[in-house]
Amino acid sequence: MATLTTLADAVADLVRDGDQVALEGFTHLIPVAAGHEIIRSGRRDLTLVRMTPDIVYDQLVGAGCARKLIFSWGGNPGVGSLHRFRDAVQHGWPVPLEIEEHSHAGMANRYVAGASGLPFAVLRGYTGTDLARVTETIKPITCPFTGEQLTAVPALNPDVTIVHAQRADRAGNVQLWGITGVQKEAVLAAKRSIVTVEEVVDELDPRPGAVVLPTWAVTAVAEVPRGAHPSYAHGYYERDNEYYRSWDAISRDRGAFDAWLKESVFG
């Protein structure tokens, strides 16, 4: 059964130095507040996993929490580049960042394999690309039935997955809806999981297309209103596009980023 707790306690208990940590949420429901808590807790040498690193991983990378990044698209959506990520890859600042790079289809299938308890997933992907050349975790495989050449990618089984959802009930059952991305797969693939929610309610009335994560599939639930800002929570608040635009100038400059860290995360 999931424990209802605070974000600070959940991160202190469940995220450890050197862990492989996945924060998922595809544009929608990105667990940004949890990312800030990891920065405050001073975790180091993390392997960060996320399809779209987005602003939240730009911040974790810039703060020096990560040793490695496993990802498939590292941009600021609709704006341009993630400059802390670029600085880490191009100049090793503030610490060198190893990368393991996939496509979205590959990452999604890696979570599916992890959630399914399988060692790898099979897809028609990466054919002819240089990704297959530079990424160790992309291998050819022959179909034993047809002889077709396909691609295998290994399961992702993060030590901890963190997602944000709209609601949980007091027993810790979690409900999220709208664009649901790979959150279910990422939680089920993980050894431990934290879900931050907009609100804890008495009863989860049905919502169209909702994904429900039963309390016994989740380790900890913490109520964090606006915990996905500047991304959005369908039915609660909209994406703060202006914040994404303004992040460009902050992330371009190491000094501006440090000032932002002091004020917005440690302030």
Partner 1 sequence: MSTCTADETMTVAASRALRDGTSCFVGIGLPSTAANLARRTHAPDLVLIYESGTLGAKPDRLPLSIGDGVLAETADAVVGVPEVFNYWLQPGRVDVGFLGAAQLDRFGNINTTVIGGDYHHPEVRLPGAGGAPEIAASCREVFVVVRQSTRAFVDRVDFVTSFGHGRGRGEREALGLPGAGPTLVITDLGVLRPDPETGELTLTELHPGVEVDDVRAATGWELRVSPDLDRTPEPTQQELTVLRALEEAR
Residues that bind partner 1 (CB under 8 A): 26-28, 51-52, 71-75, 77-79, 81-82, 85-86, 89-90, 101-105, 108-109, 111-112, 123-131, 134, 148-149, 178-182, 184-185, 209, 211, 232, 234, 238-239, 241, 244
Give 132 or 204: the residue with its C-beta nearer to partner 1: 132
Give 71 or 257: the residue with its C-beta nearer to partner 1: 71
Give 43 or 110: the residue with its C-beta nearer to partner 1: 110
Q: Read out DSSP for 95-136? A: S--EEEE--HHHHHHHHHHHHHT-SEEEES--TT-SHHHH-T
Residue 232 Cβ vs partner 1, minimum distance, rounded to whole Å? 6
The answer to whether 88 touches 58, Cβ cutoff 8 Å, is: no
Residue 4 Cβ vs partner 1, minimum distance, rounded to whole Å? 26
- The DSSP 8-state label assigned to residue 77 in this structure reads T
What number of CA atoms fall less than 13 Å from residue 130's CA on the CB side?
A: 0
Give 101 or 223: the residue with its C-beta nearer to partner 1: 101
Give 30 or 221: the residue with its C-beta nearer to partner 1: 30
The answer to whether 84 touches 62, Cβ cutoff 8 Å, is: yes
In angstroms, the CA 219 to CA 172 distance is 9
Residue 51 Cβ vs partner 1, minimum distance, rounded to whole Å? 7
Residue 198 Cβ vs partner 1, minimum distance, rounded to whole Å? 14
Residue 149 Cβ vs partner 1, minimum distance, rounded to whole Å? 7
Residue 201: CB atoms within 10 Å: 15
Pairing of strands 174-176, 160-169: antiparallel
